[in-house]
Amino acid sequence: MYKIVDKKQLNEAVELMVIKAPYVARKCEPGQFIILRADNNSERIPLTIADYNREEETVTIIYQVVGYSTKVLYEKQVGDSVVDFVGPLGKPTELKKHKKVLGIGGGVGAAPLYPQIRKLHEMGVEVDVILGGRSDEYIILEEEFKAVTKNLYFATNDGSKGKEGFVTDILNELIANGEEYDEVIAIGPLVMMKAVVGITKPLNIQTAVSLNPVMIDGTGMCGGCRVTVGNEIKFACVDGPDFDGLLVDFDECLRRQNMYKEEEHSCRIGLEGGQNNA
Ligand SMILES: Cc1cc2nc3c(=O)[nH]c(=O)nc-3n(C[C@H](O)[C@H](O)[C@H](O)COP(=O)(O)OP(=O)(O)OC[C@H]3O[C@@H](n4cnc5c(N)ncnc54)[C@H](O)[C@@H]3O)c2cc1C
Ligand code: FES
C-alpha cells in the first residue's frame, strides 16, 4: 500500500497528489511514468511522474479526472493509500545540452513537461516555454515554470491569459520573430503535438513528443500502446513514451485513440463506476 501524503486541487479538473513510494522515488528520472491502481476495483492507470523527492521518498503525480479510476483516486484523502504504484516505467527522457530549447505544454501536458524543463535548466540550457489551456484556470504550474525559464508565454482559447488562441500561434510568432531553437519539446493532446510538428517539421527543428496511447500491462507484452515511429512499430510503454515527433505517425495514433474510446464505452466488466462513462 502506498500512502497519500499530500494533495492539492490545481483547477476544477486537475489534482496534484504526493505519494510515498520509496522504490520509485529512488530510481525515477524525468520522462518516466508509473501505473497505479487506486483500489481493488480500479483499472490500472498510467500517470507521468511530475516530480519526485529522493530524501522524502515521495513521487508527485498530476492528473485530470476523466473517468472511473481517476474519479476513485480523486476521492481519496491524505492518509489514505493506493493499492498499486508500479514503476518507474518507460525510458527516461534523453535531455541534450543544447543552447536553447522551447517547451510547449498543453493542458495537463504541462505536468510531464515540467521535470524535463527543470532538468534542462539545471544543465544550464536556456529554456523558453509556452503553456496553453482552455482558459486561465486551466494553466497549471505557472510559478514552477517561471523559476526555470527565460521567457514564459501563455495561450488560452478565450484570451483570459496571454494570447487568445493556440500554443501554435505563439510558436509561429516566435519563429517569425527570428527565435532559433535547437529543440522543441511538445507535450499535450495528440492534436496539439501533431500541429506543433506540422510547423517544426518543414523547418527541420528537432521535436520531441510524449505519447500516451492506452496502456494495459506497461511491459511491452499486450500491444495496447503500439505506435508507428519512422515506419517502425514501437511500444510507448517500453520504447517511449517520448519519441522523435518528426517521425511519429500521428494519424494512426489518433485513429487508435478513437477506436479505444468506443471500446471503453461499450466494454465494461460491471463495475458500478464504469457505467458512468456510457
Ligand atoms: C504514459 C502515460 C502517461 C500519462 N500521464 C498522465 C498524466 O500525467 N496526467 C493525466 O491526467 N493523464 C495522464 N495519462 C492519461 C491517463 O492514464 C488516463 O487519463 C487515465 O488512464 C484515465 O482513466 P479513467 O479510468 O479515469 O478514465 P477512462 O474512462 O478509462 O478513460 C477516459 C480517457 O482516458 C484515456 N485512457 C483510459 N485508459 C487509459 C490508459 N490505460 N492509458 C492511456 N489513456 C487511457 C482514454 O482514451 C479516454 O479518453 C497518461 C497516459 C499515459 C499512457
Ligand atoms: S502497455 Fe502493453 S505493450 Fe505497452
Query: Ligand 1 within 6 A of 57 CB?
Result: no
Element (H, E) at 194: helix 190-203
Confidence of residue 254 (pLDDT cuts 50, 70, 90): very high
CA of 202 to the centre of ligand 1 (A): 31
pLDDT at 200 over 90: yes
Instruction: Please check whether residue 241 is in contact with residue 33, taking contact to mean a CB–CB distance below 8 angstroms.
Output: yes
Q: Which domains does the chain have, with CATH numbers?
A: 2-89 (2.40.30.10), 100-258 (3.40.50.80)
Q: What is the pTM of this model?
A: 0.89
Query: Ligand 2 within 6 A of 235 CB?
Result: yes
Give the model confidence (pLDDT) of 151-196 as tens digits.
999 999 999 999 999 999 999 999 999 999 999 999 999 999 999 9
Collapsed DSSP state (helix, strand, coil) of residue 217: coil
Instruction: Please check whether residue 225 is in contact with residue 212, taking contact to mean a CB–CB distance below 8 angstroms.
Output: no
CA of 268 to the centre of ligand 2 (A): 19
Burial class, 102, CB count within 10 angstroms (exposed 0-12 / middle 13-18 / buried 19+) = buried
Q: Which residue, by CA, sits nearest to atom 2 of ligand 2? A: 222
Dihedral angle sign, alpha carbons of residues 261, 199, 246, 47:
negative
Closest atom of ligand 2 to CA, residue 218? 1
**Residues 24-32, mean pLDDT to the nearest whole number:** 93
CA of 242 to the centre of ligand 2 (A): 14
Alpha helical stretches, state H, 48-164:
68-75, 110-122, 142-146
Give the model confidence (pLDDT) of 44-87 as tens digits.
999 999 989 999 999 999 999 998 889 999 999 999 999 999 99
Cα 79 from Cα 277, distance rounded (Å): 28
CA of 38 to the centre of ligand 1 (A): 13
Query: Ligand 2 within 6 A of 227 CB?
Result: no
pLDDT at 268 over 50: no
Q: Which residue, by CA, sits nearest to atom 3 of ligand 2? A: 220
pLDDT at 275 over 60: no
Burial class, 103, CB count within 10 angstroms (exposed 0-12 / middle 13-18 / buried 19+) = buried
Amino acid at 187: I
Give the model confidence (pLDDT) of 203-239 as tens digits.
999 999 999 898 988 889 999 899 999 989 999 999 9
More confident residue, 258 or 109: 109
User: Closest by alpha carbon to 187, among 179, 197, 178, 199?
Assistant: 197
